[in-house]
Structure 1
Amino acid sequence: MFVRTESFGQFLKSYPVISTIIAIQVILWLMMHAPFLSHNPIFELLAGVNVLITNGEYWRLITPIFMHVDFSHLFFNSFSLILFGPALERAAGKVYFLILYFACGIGANIATLFIQPPYYVHIGASGAIFGLFGVYIAVFLFNKELMPTQGRQVIIPIVVISVIMTFFQSGVNITGHIFGLISGILIGKLLVQLQKINFYKSY
């Protein structure tokens, strides 16, 4: 369920939503670190800055989901998406996966807007990634038969460890992580109730 055996081309064809998200993340990261730029207009324009959001720059609720500070930040979130996203993209379908991914990311950023200080700055896909974890938790809680036993045995410990580690890492948007997870649980519950998700479609 979480083991990738596809070739690069097969992955792109099978999971176009995830592939597109990662491509945008990489392009923005390269643009942010372009050596010919004397300053960083990409960061200035797209980062989540609470006070600017309240002043009407609402795109900053979405654009931070694609942005990452350094390569390790980009690599970790992209790797997490590659590892945990494909089963969900196939189980929920491309449209619902796209909706839940961005809904969780935006939910995390809205919570950050209301809970963190006005000049708080945040970027990263972690809120959306934790939202994916939340969907897995929702399936486990509300209809575990929709998920293979092996998948449940893997994902639950990973989610628990990830949540715990959130509180022991510096520079982490704890608010974004927790509310991304909560958003995922709520959306996942709705998908289960509407019968819009089934992990056995992954096989």
Structure 2
Amino acid sequence: MFTRSEDFRTFIRLYPVVTAIVCIQVLLWLLFLLPLPEMTFFFASIVGYNGGVANGEWWRLITPIFLHANFAHILFNSVSIILFAPALERMLGKARFLSAYLATGIIANLATFFVIEDLSYTHVGASGAIFGLFGIYLYIVVFRKDLIDSSNSQLIITILAIGIVMTFINTNINIIAHIFGAVGGALIAPLFLKRPGR
């Protein structure tokens, strides 16, 4: 389920949404490496920023999902998406997978806004949406055993547990986004999964 054996062209054909997500975030990261004032201004206008959201800049609930702080950040999140998102894209279909990915990312960013009341707080990263995908997997493990085998269920539980532990150990982590992303994914999972027997 999570073993990737496809070549590059086959991966793009089978998982176009996952490919597009990774390409968008890599392209944005490369653009913001350019030492241009315009790029600095553009980044500042779309980064997750509680003060901006409070002033009606609603797009800041979406755009941070595709932004990353440094190479290690984008590498880790991109590898996580490439490894764990394709199975959900195949399971849900392109439109529902994209909707679920964006929805969990937005839930994570809304929680960041409402729970972290500091209006100067800024954040970037796909982690909230990635934890949202694991929240969907967690729902599948608990309530939809017809969609996943026991070995992959154990893998999901293990990775999610490690991810939660690392959330509290590492510094500069948006803990609220991780937790609410996972909870949000589990809560919205029934809206995107096909009913048993269909």
Q: Distance in 2 between matches of 1:197 and 1:161?
A: 33
Structure 2 length-normalised TM: 0.94
Q: Distance in 2 between matches of 1:41 and 1:197?
A: 51
Q: Displacement, 1:48?
A: 0.8
Q: Distance in 1 between matches of 2:196 and 2:11?
A: 23
CA contact (8 A) 1:134 1:183 kept: yes
| Counterpart code for 1:114 | F
CA contact (8 A) 1:32 1:40 kept: yes
Q: Which residue of the partner structure matches residue 201 of structure 1?
A: none
Q: Which runs of 4+ in 1 moved over 3 A?
A: 35-39, 189-192
Q: Distance in 1 between matches of 2:179 and 2:167?
A: 9
CA contact (8 A) 1:65 1:123 kept: yes
Q: Displacement, 1:142?
A: 1.0
Q: Displacement, 1:148?
A: 2.0
CA contact (8 A) 2:31 2:39 kept: no
1:178 aligns with 2:158: no
Q: Is the partner of 2:169 in helix, strand or coil?
A: coil
1:152 aligns with 2:153: yes
Q: Distance in 1 between matches of 2:52 and 2:192?
A: 33
Q: Which residue of the partner structure matches residue 89 of structure 1?
A: 89
Q: Which residue of the partner structure matches residue 101 of structure 1?
A: 101
CA contact (8 A) 1:62 1:106 kept: yes
Greater alpha carbon shift after TM alignment, 28-37 vs 180-189: 28-37
Q: Which residue of the partner structure matches residue 58 of structure 1?
A: 58
Unaligned runs of 5+ residues in structure 2 are none
Q: Distance in 1 between matches of 2:52 and 2:45?
A: 10
| Counterpart code for 2:58 | Y
Q: Which residue of the partner structure matches residue 167 of structure 2?
A: 166
Pair 136,39 (structure 1): closer, same or farther in 2 beyond 3 Å: closer
Q: Is the partner of 1:40 in helix, strand or coil?
A: helix
Q: Displacement, 1:153?
A: 2.1
Q: Is the partner of 2:181 in helix, strand or coil?
A: helix
Q: Which residue of the partner structure matches residue 126 of structure 2?
A: 125
Q: Displacement, 1:78?
A: 0.5
CA contact (8 A) 2:53 2:60 kept: yes
Structure 1 length-normalised TM: 0.92
Q: Displacement, 1:169?
A: 0.6
Q: Which residue of the partner structure matches residue 47 of structure 2?
A: 47
Q: Distance in 2 between matches of 1:20 and 1:151?
A: 25
Pair 197,90 (structure 1): closer, same or farther in 2 beyond 3 Å: farther
Q: Distance in 2 between matches of 1:79 and 1:44?
A: 26
Q: Displacement, 1:37?
A: 4.6
Q: Displacement, 1:143?
A: 1.8
Over the aligned positions, Cα root-mean-square deviation in angstroms equals: 1.7
1:136 aligns with 2:137: yes
CA contact (8 A) 1:142 1:189 kept: no
CA contact (8 A) 2:104 2:181 kept: yes
Unaligned runs of 5+ residues in structure 1 are 199-203
Give CA deviations for 1:112-154 in whole Å, capped at 9, x if unaligned. Answer: 0001111110110000000000000001111212112221121
What's the % identity of the aligned pairs?
48
